[in-house]
Amino acid sequence: MQLRPYQQYGIEDALEFLRTSPVGARRMYVAPTGTGKGVIQRCLREKIVGAGYRCILLAPNREIARNWGSPDWVMTPVRFRNQLERGAIVPPEVILVDEAHHDVGSNISYGDIFLMCATSTRFIGFTATPFRGTPKGTQALRELWGKPVWLLRLPEACKNGWIQLPSVVIEPLVDDDKLVVQNGEFVIKSANAATADRLEALADLVRQFLGTRQIVALPSTQGTLAFGRYLEDAGIEHRIVLQNTPPAERTEAYEACKNGVPLLQIRILSEGVDFPWLETLIDARPTMSPVLWLQTFGRLTRPWDCEKTYVCTNRNLERHAYLLEGAVPPQVISESQKAFGGPSIR
């Protein structure tokens, strides 16, 4: 396999870290969504195992673990903890941590595993989002991992064609400056109510992009089901994937989407779901979280032989475009501000 320069650097730097750092040490590597962190993880593990050391990869959920083909060296934190507590396994010399930002502010926290393996294991994490939704959360993440090591910045990835930026369409359906915010995020009830008033306009957007592989991100389960009923009444075939949708049903829905059937979701293309063929993302899920938005937007950036379009129906792009480090032209942000009657207050 021909590695890209930043992938080769990441592997070499990680191996040097393992050689020179004491047990319990941690390092986190960062690269944009879609730039092949999984390739780094696989190649790095092969070198570690080839040197005679035990190494596992922790994936935050079963969906991501399944994407690896579920080998015995890929585990969720729950499975790893259970096996460790039963004595079924012993702590390995190295643990690779996928989606390392889950260490803070998540029910998938890796923090207790750090403590359980502190006297025997070195940890290497990978993420596209080395921050949390609040400065306090970001600081806590830094305290766990130390200063992150950036392997690749988004503008460089764009310049070299390693990721594909979508075109942007601004459709001002919901001005989320007018929504209620509590604990740093939009209140779901408020977002649902605002979206419910614009279902007809949202359905028109779905019609506009019929014929493309499209996904619509919505605020909640309730809002997703309500929009699904609206589309059904309008005679528009669609699929819905929620947090509790069974794996077989998810697979069928994803295949339908690949064949042009609109797919409705909440956490749009959640971590571990890789659809490089996605053509249209209609973002009707306002969020204050930079992590959630960047994960959402990042699902459109995987290179593919098709045009990609990000349709923003709220102020998400305006609010979070700084995360793209100048990759979004200023006139696009100005267009959003003009459409909503002025700059966002948030």
Could you report the per-residue pLDDT of 3-40, keeping only the tens digit for each?
Answer: 999 999 999 999 999 999 999 999 999 999 889 999 99
β-pair type (280-283, 214-217): parallel
Question: 158, 190, 207: which is the final residue of a domain?
Answer: 158
Query: Which DSSP helix (H) or strand (E) runs through 42?
Result: helix 37-50
Find tokens 């779905």 and name the residue. Answer: 206
Which stretches does DSSP call E strand in 32-113?
Answer: 55-58, 74-75, 94-97
Same domain membership, residue 111 and residue 142: yes
Query: Is 317 a residue whose pLDDT tops 90?
Result: yes
In the chain, the N- to C-terminal Cα span, in Å, equals 45
Longest dimension (CA), the chain: 63
Q: How far apart are CA 308 and CA 219, in angstroms?
A: 22
So what's the pLDDT on residue 144? 86
Please indicate, yes or no, if residue 178 is contained in any of the structural domains. Answer: yes
Same domain membership, residue 177 and residue 143: no
What does 283-338 look like in DSSP terms, one character per residue?
A: E----S-HHHHHHHHHTT-S--SS--EEEESSSHHHHHGGGGTT-S-HHHHHHHHH
CA separation, residue 251 to residues 111, 184, 256, 263, 275 (Å): 32, 33, 9, 12, 12
Token pair of 305, please? 């032989």
Q: How far apart are CA 91 and CA 55, in angstroms?
A: 9
Name every residue whose Cβ is closer than 8 Å to that of residue 246 and which is 6 or more positions away in sequence.
none
Token pair of 203, please? 């359905």
Question: 158, 189, 206: which is the final residue of a domain?
Answer: 158
Please indicate, yes or no, if residue 21 is contained in any of the structural domains. Answer: yes
Containing domain of residue 50, as a range?
A: 5-158
Q: How far apart are CA 213 and CA 249, in angstroms?
A: 18
User: What are 222-262's pLDDT values in tens digits?
Assistant: 999 999 999 999 999 999 998 888 888 988 999 999 999 99
For the chain, what is the domain count? Answer: 2
Token pair of 138, please? 């970001």
User: What are 115-173's pLDDT values in tens digits?
Assistant: 889 899 999 999 988 887 677 778 888 888 999 999 999 889 988 989 889 999 999 99
Same domain membership, residue 19 and residue 86: yes
Q: Which amino acid is at 265?
A: Q
So what's the pLDDT on residue 269? 53
So what's the pLDDT on residue 91? 94
So what's the pLDDT on residue 270? 53
- 241 within 8 A of 265, measured Cβ to Cβ: yes
So what's the pLDDT on residue 105? 46
